[in-house]
Amino acid sequence: MTAALEAPAVRVPARNRRSRRLVWLAVLLALVLAAALASIAVGTRSIGLGEVWRALLDGDLGTEEAVIVRQLRVPRTALGLLVGLALGVAGALMQGHTRNPLGDPGLLGVTAGASLAVVLAIAWFGIGTPSGYVWFAFAGALAGTVLVYAISSAGRGGATPVTLALAGAALSALLYALVRAVLVSDQQTLDSFRFWVVGALAGRGAEVSWQVGPFIAVGLVLAVANAPALNLLGLGEDVARGLGQRIWPARVVGLGAITLLCGAATAAAGPIAFVGLVVPHAVRAITGPDHRWLIPCSGLLGAALLLLADVLGRIVARPGELQVGIVLALVGAPFFIVLVRRRRTAGL
């Protein structure tokens, strides 16, 4: 009798799920557009949307508003879009490949490798501008990822989610120790490095976006191509093999995408935490675990979150500003604490 009185499980038709996901995709696109407009209009000097529109369409830079909009805020907004997009997608890939709900793009040694490369570029070559050490940061991020993958593949079972996470944590600790060793011995390097390591969009010209843009574009293509394989890997490697999925190529493509995306974003704006951790969890609640939807939606939400955090940093510290890395840490830390408290440690 009890079984007869129980309500049957309600299954959402595939067409309804697709419609709901399309609606959320449109909402995220609108949110990104609104965040971009706010990033252009809001600053130390507020500029109305009408003046912003005229400054964007008018080729003359004779007015002060046009100079601010076109030479300062538009490049900054474009860089924020690229960095947020890259970090959001990289976070979704990282959590999928490591099957770790606390997975972050920096887990593979990307951030630590970039940090060490920037420190050496400042200390050894005297480079002190973002456009100057962006290539060093990217090379360091790439080297860190390659080392992590080589270490995790050295065992009999090859690279697995567990060995990747452990190798990344160990190598990151070593690289950060080397960073501190250089910093404590050179005060001038410390003064230059601290402006990069806090994570910011200010002070980056349009040339930085052009430098990292191609790498982010390639990383996004690899991420989209990796989505179907990542859905199968989520069922377990044995099941994925039984369904015809080749494990090693899927891992390489995914790690390559993470390296390009996170490496380019870190090189351009410095280490920015919590975007890659927070965004995939928020998106997964509305799209489900399907990476074909999770990856693009994570990119959009990451871009919107980064721009909104940057705008908030300009508002709360007028006439100065609070760096976006600090704002995101203040927002992301409470979410991280809630996430840990809702999950058992053994389940992590």
Residue ranges and CATH numbers for the domains of the chain are 24-339 (1.10.3470.10)
Alpha helices in the chain (DSSP H): 2-5, 14-41, 49-57, 64-67, 74-98, 110-125, 130-152, 161-184, 187-197, 206-233, 237-242, 247-269, 275-287, 291-316, 324-342
Q: Is residue 144 a contact partner of residue 167, using CB atoms and an 8 Å limit?
A: no
| pLDDT tier, 13 (very low <50, low <70, confident <90, very high otherwise) | low
Separation of alpha carbons 92 and 291, rounded Å:
8
Gap between the Cα atoms of 301 and 309, Å rounded: 12
Q: pLDDT class for 6, splitting at 50, 70, 90?
A: very low
Give tens-digit pLDDT for 105-139: 677 788 889 889 988 888 888 887 777 778 888 88
- pLDDT recorded at residue 223: 95
Check if the beta carbon of residue 263 is closer than 8 Å to that of residue 146: no
Instruction: State the pLDDT confidence band at 30, using cuts at 50, 70 and 90.
Output: very high
C-alpha to C-alpha distance for 166 and 109, rounded to whole angstroms: 11
Q: Is the pLDDT of residue 158 over 70?
A: no
In this structure, how many other beta carbons lie within 10 angstroms of the beta carbon of residue 242? 11
Q: What is the DSSP letter of 275?
A: H
Q: What is the DSSP letter of 10?
A: P
**CA-CA distance, 172 to 113, in Å (whole number)?**
8
Q: What is the mean pLDDT of the chain?
A: 82
Please determine, for residue 11, whether its predicted confidence score (pLDDT) is greater than 60: no
More confident residue, 183 or 45: 183
- Categorize the per-residue pLDDT at 347 as very low, low, confident or very high, splitting at 50, 70 and 90: very low
Average pLDDT of the residues in 255-269 = 87
Q: Which residue has the tokens 């995101």?
A: 328
More confident residue, 166 or 25: 25
Q: What is the mean pLDDT of residues 79-86?
A: 95
pLDDT tier for residue 9 given thresholds of 50, 70 and 90: very low
pLDDT at 14 over 50: yes
pLDDT attached to residue 342: 63
pLDDT at 58 over 90: no
Average pLDDT over residues 238-244: 84
**pLDDT at 155 > cutoff 60:** yes
Joined together, the tokens standing for residue 116 give 């060490």
- Asked whether residue 315 carries a pLDDT value surpassing 70, the answer given is yes
Q: What is the pLDDT of residue 148?
A: 86
Confidence tier at 310 by pLDDT (50, 70, 90): very high
Q: What is the pLDDT of residue 77?
A: 94
- What the block records as the tokens of 111 is 């951030």
- How much of the chain exceeds pLDDT 70, in percent? 90
CA 70 to chain centre: 25
Buried b (16+ CB within 10 A) or exposed e, 174-213: ebeeebeebbeebeebbebbeebbbbbbbebeeebbebbe
Distance in angstroms (rounded) separating the CA atoms of residues 194 and 234: 39
* Portion of the chain with pLDDT greater than 90, in percent: 23
- What span, in angstroms and rounded, lies between the C-alpha atoms of 107 and 167? 9
Local confidence band at 2 (pLDDT 50, 70, 90 cut-offs): very low
- Name which of 86-95, 124-133, 270-279 the model is least confident about: 124-133
